[in-house]
Amino acid sequence: MVNIGEKVAPFSLPATGDKTLSLEDFEGKNLIIYFYPKDNTPGCTLEGQNFRDCYQDFVKSGTAILGVSRDGLKAHENFKAKQEFPFDLLSDADEALCKQFDVIHEKNMYGRKVMGIVRSTFLIDDKGVLQKEWRKVRVKGHVEEVLEAVNSL
Protein backbone atom coordinates (compact mmCIF):
# COMPACT_ATOMS: atom_id res chain seq x y z
CA MET A 1 0.00 0.00 0.00
CA VAL A 2 1.21 3.51 -0.81
CA ASN A 3 1.33 6.26 1.83
CA ILE A 4 1.34 10.04 1.52
CA GLY A 5 4.90 11.32 1.04
CA GLU A 6 6.08 8.06 -0.55
CA LYS A 7 6.90 7.26 -4.15
CA VAL A 8 4.16 5.31 -5.92
CA ALA A 9 5.29 1.87 -7.13
CA PRO A 10 5.44 1.50 -10.91
CA PHE A 11 2.32 0.16 -12.61
CA SER A 12 1.22 -0.63 -16.13
CA LEU A 13 -2.39 -1.29 -17.16
CA PRO A 14 -4.46 -1.57 -20.33
CA ALA A 15 -6.20 1.71 -21.18
CA THR A 16 -8.74 3.12 -23.58
CA GLY A 17 -7.47 3.95 -27.05
CA ASP A 18 -5.77 0.55 -27.35
CA LYS A 19 -2.92 1.71 -25.09
CA THR A 20 -1.06 0.43 -22.09
CA LEU A 21 -0.29 3.23 -19.65
CA SER A 22 2.36 3.25 -16.94
CA LEU A 23 3.23 5.61 -14.13
CA GLU A 24 6.42 6.56 -15.99
CA ASP A 25 4.31 7.86 -18.90
CA PHE A 26 3.35 10.78 -16.63
CA GLU A 27 6.82 11.68 -15.37
CA GLY A 28 7.16 15.46 -15.11
CA LYS A 29 3.38 15.93 -14.70
CA ASN A 30 1.10 15.76 -11.72
CA LEU A 31 -1.31 12.86 -11.97
CA ILE A 32 -4.82 12.40 -10.62
CA ILE A 33 -5.91 8.78 -10.37
CA TYR A 34 -9.53 8.37 -9.46
CA PHE A 35 -10.99 4.96 -8.67
CA TYR A 36 -14.70 4.41 -9.22
CA PRO A 37 -16.94 1.35 -8.84
CA LYS A 38 -18.54 0.86 -12.26
CA ASP A 39 -18.94 2.39 -15.71
CA ASN A 40 -22.32 3.94 -16.60
CA THR A 41 -23.69 4.11 -13.07
CA PRO A 42 -25.12 7.44 -11.85
CA GLY A 43 -22.42 8.45 -9.33
CA CYS A 44 -19.54 7.25 -11.50
CA THR A 45 -20.96 9.03 -14.54
CA LEU A 46 -21.37 12.30 -12.64
CA GLU A 47 -17.85 12.09 -11.19
CA GLY A 48 -16.36 11.47 -14.65
CA GLN A 49 -18.40 14.33 -16.12
CA ASN A 50 -17.11 16.67 -13.40
CA PHE A 51 -13.49 15.72 -14.17
CA ARG A 52 -14.28 16.16 -17.89
CA ASP A 53 -15.80 19.59 -17.34
CA CYS A 54 -12.75 20.79 -15.37
CA TYR A 55 -10.23 18.98 -17.57
CA GLN A 56 -8.72 22.11 -19.15
CA ASP A 57 -8.09 23.58 -15.68
CA PHE A 58 -6.15 20.44 -14.76
CA VAL A 59 -4.19 20.58 -18.03
CA LYS A 60 -3.26 24.23 -17.38
CA SER A 61 -1.81 23.17 -14.03
CA GLY A 62 0.31 20.42 -15.64
CA THR A 63 -1.89 17.60 -14.38
CA ALA A 64 -3.11 14.45 -16.14
CA ILE A 65 -6.18 12.46 -15.11
CA LEU A 66 -6.81 8.71 -15.18
CA GLY A 67 -10.01 6.94 -14.18
CA VAL A 68 -9.73 3.35 -12.91
CA SER A 69 -12.27 0.60 -12.35
CA ARG A 70 -12.42 -3.19 -12.71
CA ASP A 71 -14.54 -2.92 -15.87
CA GLY A 72 -13.13 -4.31 -19.11
CA LEU A 73 -11.80 -2.19 -21.96
CA LYS A 74 -14.94 -2.60 -24.11
CA ALA A 75 -17.11 -1.13 -21.34
CA HIS A 76 -14.52 1.62 -20.77
CA GLU A 77 -14.40 2.53 -24.48
CA ASN A 78 -18.20 2.84 -24.60
CA PHE A 79 -18.32 4.86 -21.35
CA LYS A 80 -15.54 7.19 -22.48
CA ALA A 81 -17.13 7.77 -25.91
CA LYS A 82 -20.64 8.27 -24.54
CA GLN A 83 -19.46 10.81 -21.94
CA GLU A 84 -16.79 12.39 -24.19
CA PHE A 85 -14.07 12.00 -21.57
CA PRO A 86 -10.82 13.67 -22.74
CA PHE A 87 -8.76 11.40 -20.43
CA ASP A 88 -8.11 7.67 -20.46
CA LEU A 89 -9.70 4.97 -18.35
CA LEU A 90 -7.62 2.07 -17.05
CA SER A 91 -8.95 -1.46 -16.73
CA ASP A 92 -7.78 -3.06 -13.48
CA ALA A 93 -9.52 -6.42 -13.90
CA ASP A 94 -6.99 -8.24 -11.68
CA GLU A 95 -7.24 -5.47 -9.05
CA ALA A 96 -3.45 -4.93 -8.85
CA LEU A 97 -3.64 -1.12 -8.81
CA CYS A 98 -6.75 -1.22 -6.60
CA LYS A 99 -4.79 -3.26 -4.06
CA GLN A 100 -1.76 -0.97 -4.29
CA PHE A 101 -3.99 1.96 -3.33
CA ASP A 102 -6.13 -0.11 -0.93
CA VAL A 103 -9.49 0.85 -2.46
CA ILE A 104 -11.24 -2.56 -2.41
CA HIS A 105 -13.33 -2.97 0.71
CA GLU A 106 -16.47 -4.70 1.89
CA LYS A 107 -19.57 -2.74 0.92
CA ASN A 108 -23.23 -3.22 1.61
CA MET A 109 -25.19 -3.53 -1.65
CA TYR A 110 -28.94 -3.92 -1.19
CA GLY A 111 -28.42 -5.77 2.09
CA ARG A 112 -25.66 -8.05 0.74
CA LYS A 113 -22.00 -7.75 1.67
CA VAL A 114 -19.78 -7.51 -1.42
CA MET A 115 -16.17 -6.56 -2.09
CA GLY A 116 -15.98 -3.49 -4.29
CA ILE A 117 -14.11 -0.31 -5.12
CA VAL A 118 -14.66 2.49 -2.64
CA ARG A 119 -14.67 5.77 -4.59
CA SER A 120 -11.22 7.30 -3.99
CA THR A 121 -8.92 9.86 -5.61
CA PHE A 122 -5.14 10.24 -5.38
CA LEU A 123 -2.86 13.15 -6.29
CA ILE A 124 0.65 12.14 -7.37
CA ASP A 125 3.18 14.89 -8.00
CA ASP A 126 5.51 15.26 -10.98
CA LYS A 127 8.18 13.18 -9.21
CA GLY A 128 5.85 10.22 -8.61
CA VAL A 129 5.23 10.95 -4.91
CA LEU A 130 1.74 10.61 -3.43
CA GLN A 131 0.78 14.06 -2.14
CA LYS A 132 -2.88 13.73 -1.18
CA GLU A 133 -5.69 11.19 -1.02
CA TRP A 134 -9.44 11.38 -0.78
CA ARG A 135 -11.27 8.24 0.37
CA LYS A 136 -14.99 7.49 0.53
CA VAL A 137 -15.51 10.36 -1.88
CA ARG A 138 -18.82 12.16 -2.18
CA VAL A 139 -19.11 13.34 -5.78
CA LYS A 140 -20.62 16.80 -5.18
CA GLY A 141 -17.82 19.38 -4.92
CA HIS A 142 -15.08 16.75 -5.05
CA VAL A 143 -13.44 17.72 -8.35
CA GLU A 144 -13.21 21.36 -7.28
CA GLU A 145 -11.48 20.26 -4.07
CA VAL A 146 -9.01 18.14 -6.07
CA LEU A 147 -8.30 21.05 -8.44
CA GLU A 148 -7.66 23.32 -5.47
CA ALA A 149 -5.13 20.80 -4.09
CA VAL A 150 -3.40 20.55 -7.50
CA ASN A 151 -3.14 24.33 -7.71
CA SER A 152 -1.58 24.51 -4.23
CA LEU A 153 1.31 22.15 -5.17
Half-sphere exposure of 140 (CA within 13 A, CB side): 0
Cβ contact 103:35 at 8 Å: yes
Strand partners, 121: 34, 134
* Cross-strand pairs, 69: 91
What angle in degrees, to the nearest 10, is found between the helix axes of 73-83 and 42-53? 60
* Catalytic positions: 44
Q: How many CB atoms lie within 10 A of CB 146?
A: 24
